[in-house]
Chains A and B, each alone.
Chain A
Amino acid sequence: MNRTTKDTTLGIMECPTVSETNSRLSHKQGRIIKERVIETLLFLAALSSVATTFAIVFILVYESIPFFQHTTVLNFLTDTEWTPLFDEARYGIMPLVAGTLVTTGVALTVAIPMGTIIAIYLSEFAPHRVRETVKPFLELLGAVPTVVFGYFALVVVTPLLQKIYPDLPGFNMLSAGLVMGIMIIPYVSSVSEDAMRAVPMHLREGSYAMGATRFQTAVRVVVPSAFSGIAAAFILGISRAVGETMIVAVAAGMQPNLTWKATESAATISAFIVQVALGDLPHGSIGYQSIFAAGLTLMLMTLVFNIIGFWLKKRFREEY
């Protein structure tokens, strides 16, 4: 019965004429062309990110080449003074690198222990409700504009520190680094917490079954298992701190100063770029060229940290 109905319906349908078939086929071809065009456009959009990277590398190298006609690469890396804008110009990047490393170091001594402890606490100790309330809050803190943190460092934290160390200058790397540390806590804790949450529950259960406390489980089971993710969080924090600009530009001072003492004032690479960019900047002047050389150095420093991070991630990856 069923079969006959089907047959009749088929019988009623007319065969398509030749011209109809052709128009359908060409319609289909139009469809294929449209699909191809869209796919190509989407591919080009995806390629734009690669183009951005090439553009960054190209511009930094291209604009730094004239700079290295004033000085040699060896001199750039070993000279201990950075005064490219003075009459007696010296082109040693070391003072700026030292400033960057000191502020980064201060920031990390705050952010890494606090960020990790907060992450362990949120992931292993805190009740569900606390975690759900605190996580979005931490994310919000990560979105605060850095110039606001710069204001805090200069106007609030430096006067507070001066009450403890009366000799502290108004611009100093200590307060900039401390505020930067507070700024990157959310990055460190959020990413390492995600890594710890991803550790499978049965590892924890195994540890508890052996009679371990939560602290023992956290330190001896969860942290080692999540180490590659935690390392990624540290690297993220370090590259944030190295590239951070506004806090140091506002609070750490603008004078290049080769020192490892955090209580002194010194410029970082990024602060130098801002300082030069704030003034008049004719295209092709030595000031213009010097900021690209400084930017190239900064880029290479973050690249080194990222490669270390990539290696750590690979070396310590645990598969479950």
Chain B
Amino acid sequence: MQQSVAEIRRLIARHKFWDYAFAIVGMICLMVGILVLLSLFADLARTGAPRLTPAFFTSFPSRMAEEAGILSAWVGSVLVMVVTACAAVPLGVAAAIYLEEYAPKNWMTAIIEINVTNLAGVPSIVYGLLALGLFVYILGFGQSILSAGLTLALLILPVVIVATRESLRAVPGSIREAAYALGATRWQMVSDHVLPYSSAGIMTGIIMGLSRAIGETAPIITIGALTFIAFLPNSPISPEFPFVNAKWLMDPFTVMPIQMFNWTSRPEEEFQLNAAAAGVVLLAMTLAMNAVAIYLRYRIRKKIKW
């Protein structure tokens, strides 16, 4: 087959054209994706801004849109996050340490590993159903902060496990061998050497998990959390001895995303403003947490050179 030089040139030109065309299409897709979202956020901020006064943070929800605030919602969110962190962090980190440092290579380990991957793909509302059946009715925790916190803890467990495993894996084997050479037991090796080196990475995973939990709405609605709460739970700190109490764990509550959902689903125009304002606060909370996590990870990658 004979091809003239001109034909080959045309062929090359055509392929080069496709090359440029795709580069432009790719850039446009990226820009469209990012710009659409940025404009949505800008719109949210513009709509919500007039309602973002100090009073908005210190008032309870109300039937009057102008007087309504997010006090019970953000307090509820903070308390639920405390329960979630207390449950998910020890459990997740311990599971990750087992899988990474202890687990023998057998069918049991394989099952646990496949299982963690699969749990990450279970829809969040299914966790809500689990909590409704298990925590609310079988264990009798009711529609409380404790139930919600434990639900979200189960939900973010795979996130914490995967992140912790990754940062444990990043610690080189020579550190472990050095610890063993000095007569350390396995747990001494893990707790004195591997964990401190990987703590920043584990922190990143925990923050990412909690930022996912703080925005979750569906599982908490499913356990039947009330949407109109005009009071605060019992204070965790009391003036008398022993200064802390656990009564708040059993209190009814509302959280930020539920408050926003409640306002969004109302027909009145004024409540949409409240929804936008609550959205701004919620978005600021999650994005700030994620930015911290991403920054931490970036710093670790740059700093650690074994």
Contacts and interface: CB of A to CB of B under 8 A. Distances in A.
Task: Answer yes or no: are A and B bound together in one complex.
Answer: yes
Interface of A: 31, 34-35, 38-39, 41-43, 45-50, 52-53, 55-56, 59-60, 62-63, 114, 117-118, 120-122, 125-126, 134, 136-137, 139-141, 143-148, 150-152, 154-156, 182, 185, 213-216, 218, 236, 239, 242-246, 249-250, 270, 273-274, 277-278, 281, 283, 291-292, 295, 298-299, 302, 306
A283 B218 CA distance: 19
A143 B290 contact: yes
Contacts of B33: 114, 118, 182, 185
B149 interface: no
A234 B214 CA distance: 26
A214 B118 contact: no
Q: What secondary structure prevails in chain A residues at the interface with B?
A: helix
Given A146-B217, A298-B123, A42 B130 contact: no
Given A143-B211, A278-B221, A298 B125 contact: yes
B286 A144 contact: yes
A277 B221 contact: yes
- 3 nearest A-B pairs in the assembled complex, by CB-CB distance: A243-B123, A121-B26, A145-B215
Contacts of B217: 145-147, 245-246
Chain B contact patch, size range:
35 or more
Contacts, number: 247
A90 B257 CA distance: 33
Interface of B: 15-16, 18-19, 22-23, 25-27, 29-30, 32-34, 36-37, 40, 43-44, 47, 90-92, 94-95, 97-99, 102-103, 111-112, 115-116, 118-119, 121-130, 132-134, 137, 154, 157-158, 161, 185-187, 208, 211-212, 214-218, 221-224, 227, 257, 260-261, 264-265, 272, 275-276, 279, 282-283, 286-287, 290-291, 294, 298
B247 to A, nearest CB: 24
B30 A118 contact: yes
Most chain A Cβ neighbours within 10 Å, of B26, B34, B116, B211:
B26
Contacts of A145: 214-217, 257, 282-283, 286
A145 B264 CA distance: 14
